[in-house]
A and B are shown apart, each in its own frame.
Chain A
Amino acid sequence: MAALPTHIESIHPALWRGSQLARAYGRTVDTGYAALSAELPGGGWPLGALVELLVQQPGIGEMRLMRPALTRVSQRPVVLLQAPHVPNALAFSYLGVPVDKLMWLRASKTADALWCAERVLQAGTCGALLLWQQHIRSEALRRLHLVAQATETLLVLVRPLASAQDASPATLRLGVRPAEGGIAVDIIKRRGPAQTEQLSVTLQPSPILLSSYGRVRRHSLAPAFAGGISTKVVASV
């Protein structure tokens, strides 16, 4: 019997050891935050897969977390489906998403919203689809995940943090909490070893621009410490 190769992961690109990060199976788009990218398989948000952002409440920095990725995919339209509040177009153009690429869909029923999400993904003409849902059944999640796999669209599902305990077919699940100067990210699920530490991400741009105090803090990019262990944090400007 031939000996197994020492590097099992060299057999097939889909193989990886439990202690390693998976390699990029499909395409990815850079998160723009180096510390976060380093922790994600393939070094960014996966395209054509379901990504879940579990937020404590809407409006704690989740859009600024997505900002670099959205800017990169915004040659094609960016669809906001069942957004929690009225999206402010000026703020989006400030974040770097062109106003004429934005689209806001309001659906009164969850069934309508999921139907829309499927259609948008099947058409494959949009760069990103951001979907907000409070309660979503696991069949619906699996269906979304399946549709997403045939596309090159960045699909992000924003759900409440409480649903972190529920199982989900998403390839990447991140918990997001507000923190000083940015957010703290828990990696709940990824293709790779479990990450127990929280990751501090300094978000750009900070909302506090008009105060001199805020300006100082904006430019001092001191590494943040989380859980007693320093995590490399570099924010791109």
Chain B
Amino acid sequence: MVLERDKVTVLDAVARDAGVRVGMKRGGVVTLLPDALMFDRSAEREHDMQRDVAMALLRFSPQVAVCEEETIVVELTASLRLFGGILRVCKEVREVVSAIGVTAGMSVAPTGRGAWLLAKAGRRRVLKVQSLERQLGGLPFMVVPELRRFADWFNGLGCSVLSDIQRLPRAGLKKRCGVDLLDSLDRAYGLAPELHEWLELPPTFSARVELPDRVEHAEAILFSARRLVVQLCGWLAAQQLALTHATVTLEHERGRQAIEPTLIDIALAEPTWHEEHLVRLLKERLGRTELQAAVIAVRLTAADVQAAEPPSDTLFPEPGGSAQNHNRLLELLAARLGAENVLRPAPAPDHRPEHANQWVPVQSGSKNGPNGRPKTVSAPDDLPRPTWLLHVPLRLMVKNHRPFYGSPLKLVSTGERIEAGWHDGALVTRDYFVAEADDKSCYWIYRERPSVTSEETRWFLHGLFG
């Protein structure tokens, strides 16, 4: 439960069952529930949270205002068609808000002030000015902050709802209660123009969230990290930027000695501003991270951004999926398997097969290559090369002066001499043959030239013809 000035303001169902009520003193609560968790209300943190939610909502509209009494006003008129109607927008807003980890009541109205009033009184959705007037008329007048000061007076007049107050003579109201009250009501009814202080965007993004408890497993951080990603996506969408590089910092609990925070770098080949993709990447990266100590806070920083390119709408979409999809797939695979396990070939001009057959991480070459493509070395046309190379050549037994692998091997080709590597200290002097076993499978074997190391002939299996 949450206390403000030693009085209960928010409580959960368990506390209510135990008999705790709103407005109780701290002492009373301790008597009823000795092990209750009590928190002091912090206006600063509430405001921060409100700002976080507003930042996330920026994806729906650039015009988001943080208003008084824990309310956020979003101007959506221009975004309705993009998101496919007011119902869809409401559904998505609700998803975003729940991703941040808070609950919210939502109302829709043609005026910002009207929506504010409806939201304070409950959840309602009106689209026309006439129905807004009807709905507002039924609200108790206490929802309007400017009217609260005069609550006793209005009660004495027999007013209970806003329509009663609308019926009072304006001139008299203006004289007794000031201009503010009438202005506020006019703005709500759409009779006067509204002015909101729209949220100003910070030029850089770096958000931090404290975890509710110390967390030992990296996966458990994902929920809080998701909240940051949602904010980041709102920020990106509002500035029409796409993320290319982000850093996640996991701050550790300060034990005897301070532990350096763990850094997770997320580099993206394809700039993105999609929440789903970022969350999936982060999930895989967190799954692979081992924590040295418990984590107490997470910070997400957008290290590098660039202008977002609008998606190209071709009339007929490519059946094979776009290049962006493929890049996204590669990033996801690299996040799970590690970049060193997602490989593409980079053949090198070398006679030694194991040196010629180089594989490099898919994402590495695109930076230093001239146009992002690996150099293709055309192999000689009629040179048999096995599809599979053994990681380390396998020493073969020799039986009756013939190499033996499962069965005696019969040489079925003339030799191919490969002698190279004198310049880099990895000298090989080998004679390669294609050999056939009794079951007609072919192997690529070589004989090390006896003069080099020892007198005996040594046979090795180096490749398989897949």
Contacts and interface: CB of A to CB of B under 8 A. Distances in A.
Interface of A: 56-64, 75-77, 83-95, 98-100, 102-108, 112, 115-116, 119-120, 123-127, 152, 177-181, 205-211, 213-214
A222 to B, nearest CB: 16
B299 to A, nearest CB: 29
A107 B326 contact: no
Interface of B: 319-322, 325-326, 328-329, 332-333, 336-337, 341-347, 353, 356-359, 362, 373-374, 376-379, 381-391, 412-416, 434, 436, 439-444, 463-466
B442 A208 contact: yes
A90 B333 contact: no
Contacts of A86: 357, 359, 388-391
A93 B378 contact: yes
Contacts of A104: 343-345, 359
Contact of B413 (A64, A102, A210): A210
A105 B357 contact: no
A77 B344 CA distance: 10
Given A58-B464, A103-B343, A125-B329, A208 B384 contact: yes
A57 B406 CA distance: 12
A228 B44 CA distance: 89
A91 B385 contact: yes
Nearest to A77: B326
Contacts of B322: 125
Given A89-B359, A99-B374, A209-B413, A84 B388 contact: yes
- Leading 5 A-B pairs by shortest Cβ distance: A59-B464, A89-B345, A63-B466, A85-B388, A178-B441
Contact of B379 (A85, A93, A120): A93
A57 B466 CA distance: 10
Contacts of B345: 87, 89, 92, 99-100, 102, 104
Contacts of B356: 90
A126 B441 CA distance: 31
22 contacts: A57-B441, A58-B464, A61-B441, A85-B464, A86-B359, A86-B390, A86-B391, A87-B359, A87-B387, A87-B389, A89-B357, A92-B345, A93-B347, A94-B379, A94-B383, A100-B376, A115-B336, A119-B333, A208-B442, A209-B413, A211-B434, A213-B412
A65 to B, nearest CB: 9
Contacts of B373: 100
A124 B323 CA distance: 11
Contacts of A180: 440
B330 to A, nearest CB: 8
Contacts of B443: 59
Contacts of B385: 88, 90-91, 94
A99 B345 CA distance: 6
Given A85-B389, A105-B333, A207 B442 contact: yes
B434 A178 contact: no
A99 B375 CA distance: 9
Given A84-B388, A125-B329, A59 B441 contact: yes
Given A63-B466, A125-B321, A112 B337 contact: yes
A127 B326 CA distance: 12
A43 B344 CA distance: 32
Given A99-B376, A208-B384, A210-B384, A106 B329 contact: no
A58 B442 CA distance: 11
A90 B336 CA distance: 28
Given A99-B345, A103-B342, A112 B388 contact: no
A49 to B, nearest CB: 17
A125 B343 contact: no
A172 B385 CA distance: 29
B434 A59 contact: no
Contacts of A94: 379, 381, 383-385
Contact of A124 (B325, B377, B379): B325
A64 B329 CA distance: 28
A214 B10 CA distance: 87
A209 B382 contact: yes
Given A59-B464, A104-B343, A210-B413, A91 B440 contact: no
A104 B333 CA distance: 11
A206 B386 CA distance: 11
A211 B412 contact: yes
A157 to B, nearest CB: 15
Nearest to A209: B384
- The residue among A63, A86, A214 with the most chain B CB atoms within 10 A of its own CB is A86
A177 B440 CA distance: 9
Nearest to A104: B343
